[in-house]
Structure 1
Amino acid sequence: MTLSIFLVEDLRQVEGALTDYLSTMGDFKVLETARTEAEANHWLQEHPGAWDALILDLVLDQGSGMNVIARARAQPRAGKIAVFSGYASEGIRQHCIALGADAVFDKTETSALAAWLRDIGNSTR
């Protein structure tokens, strides 16, 4: 089964690199991307239950990924939520988990993110 991913990342280079990386890892498909909090929340509202995993940055062009966590978690049939940020301190990790994130990764932890996604894919089969 292909894992459907919604990616929220404001930096085009990171978005492109992460999308390419995930496509080489196997059964991952980036359904859509958003660069702002408003774009992310709008897509979530229009596509409830359409995603298996949400990967999001905390610092966006406009708004905050933290607000997207709460919106995504409130959806019926919400998928798994991972924060992928350069600001993943222990305090930020705890706050994101309290908001409803399932995992928090520093942007240097790409292989850990991929392993987490593989685990999700294996558990949904």
Structure 2
Amino acid sequence: MNLRVSLVEDNLTIRISLMDMLTDLVDARMVGIAEQQADAVQWLNEHSDEWDVAIVDIFLKRGSGLPVLTACARRSPKQRVLVLSNYATPEIRTRA
């Protein structure tokens, strides 16, 4: 069974690297890819049970990953969310 991943990352280089790494290491299948907050929230709301792991960048060029995390809050216990950030300050950790 493939790990179904929803990836929210606005940097093309990082997004491609993550996709390649996840595909190679854990046989992941990208089921949702978004570069901005609005698209990510919409996808998660429309496909709430179609992913196993959501990987969310906090700082996006359009919007923020924090509302995306809120959209993930209604996930099932088997679904996991990973947060990416170059700014892992105590405030960001608390907000995430």
Question: What TM-score do you get using the length of structure 2 for normalisation?
Answer: 0.89
- Residues 1:89 and 2:89 are matched in the alignment: yes
What residue identity is the alignment partner of 2:36? T
Q: Tell me the equivalent position of 1:107.
A: none
Aligned-partner Cα distance in 2 for 1:72–1:26: 22
Stretches (4+) displaced over 6 A? none
Write out per-residue CA displacement over residues 12-34 of structure 1, whole angstroms, 9 at most, x where no aligned residue: 11100110111110332221210
Aligned-partner Cα distance in 1 for 2:54–2:71: 11
Aligned-partner Cα distance in 1 for 2:90–2:2: 32
Write out per-residue CA displacement over residues 20-65 of structure 1, whole angstroms, 9 at most, x where no aligned residue: 1111103322212101100001101111111101001011121110
Give aligned pairs, total.
95
The gaps in structure 2 that reach 5 residues or longer are none
Aligned-partner Cα distance in 1 for 2:34–2:61: 10
What residue identity is the alignment partner of 2:13? Q
- Residues 1:42 and 2:42 are matched in the alignment: yes
What residue identity is the alignment partner of 1:16? I
Aligned-partner Cα distance in 2 for 1:45–1:91: 26
Identity percentage over the alignment? 34
Q: Tell me the equivalent position of 1:57.
A: 57
Aligned-partner Cα distance in 2 for 1:7–1:17: 12
Higher normalized helix content (fraction of residues): 1
Taking the TM superposition and a 5 Å limit, the aligned residue runs for 1:22-41 are: 22-41=22-41
Q: Tell me the equivalent position of 1:73.
A: 73
Aligned-partner Cα distance in 1 for 2:28–2:88: 24
Comparing both chains, which one has the higher relative contact order based on Cα–Cα distances under 8 Å and sequence gaps of 6 or more? 2
Question: What TM-score do you get using the length of structure 1 for normalisation?
Answer: 0.70
The gaps in structure 1 that reach 5 residues or longer are 97-125
